[in-house]
Homo-oligomer: A and B are copies of this chain.
Amino acid sequence: MASFVRTGRKIVAIGRNFAEHAKEFNNAVPTEPFFFLKPTTSYVASGGRVEIPQGVIVHHEVELGVIIGKTGRDISEAEADSYVAGYALAIDMTARNMQDAVKKKGLPWSAAKGFDTFTPISSFIPKESISDPHNINLWLKINDTFKQNGNTTDMIFRIPRLIQHISSIMTLEEGDLILTGTPSGVGPVEPGDTITAGLAIPSSSSSSPLATLK
């Protein structure tokens, strides 16, 4: 599954899965998970450049990605872990002013979330490297300033529940990516900014993160 960026067919992104982030925009904390789709053409590898389209306010949302290892539908929470091949660090770039406009009109989020380069992604992290995906530090800096610094323990819906929910609607396939939601601190990026993000195990004796994106 190291080739998920090339071979995967969908990106399923969970909205508002951290209470503090939901509150940033005065959104209600959800009572069940919801998701949107991003196209795989939005992937960009670490070191790449993120597009800032004319007139668009682009926000960063650092997230833990879950990579699916085998095909399944109607997966139970109990079985969910066996469908996980590994993880990745991702940023769910969002055209916030476009999203605000379509939300008011009840229109789809797909354009606001779907520009080329709107899903910066790390390389594949094997499942064995992360013993507890619900205790992972996620951080993001713009230039030298920390903007997001959260922990996946604060997810409202945990990974097995996300897999159960998505797969109750659509088949998950090998190479699909689930974006599990962002902690608080999202905000705009400007042309010329450097975005650095990291994913690390808090208890790790090593100070080096498992993944970084730049």
Mark each residue of chain A from 97 to 111: 1 if its CB lies under 8 Å from any CB of chain B, else 0. Answer: 000001110111111
- A35–B35 Cα distance when bound, in Å, is 16
Distance (Å) between the CB of A194 and the closest chain B CB?
24
**Which of B10, B34, B111 sits near A34, CB closer than 8 Å?**
B111
Contact, CB under 8 Å: B41 / A173: yes
Distance (Å) between the CB of A55 and the closest chain B CB?
12
Known: A106-B103, A106-B106, A111-B35. A40 touches B116 (CB 8 A): no
* A146 interfacial contact with B, CB 8 Å: no
Known: A39-B9, A171-B41. A15 touches B107 (CB 8 A): yes
- A108: B residues at CB distance < 8 A: 15, 34-37, 108-110
**Residues 164 to 214 of chain A near chain B (Cβ within 8 Å):** 169-171, 173
Please give the number of chain A residues whose Cβ is less than 8 angstroms from any Cβ of chain B in the complex: 31
Contact, CB under 8 Å: B35 / A116: no
Distance (Å) between the CB of A137 and the closest chain B CB?
28
- A108–B109 Cα distance when bound, in Å, is 6
Most chain B CB neighbours (cut-off 10 Å) among A42, A108, A115? A108
**Which of B42, B103, B169 sits near A170, CB closer than 8 Å?**
B42
Contact, CB under 8 Å: A170 / B41: yes
**Which of B9, B36, B107 sits near A110, CB closer than 8 Å?**
B36
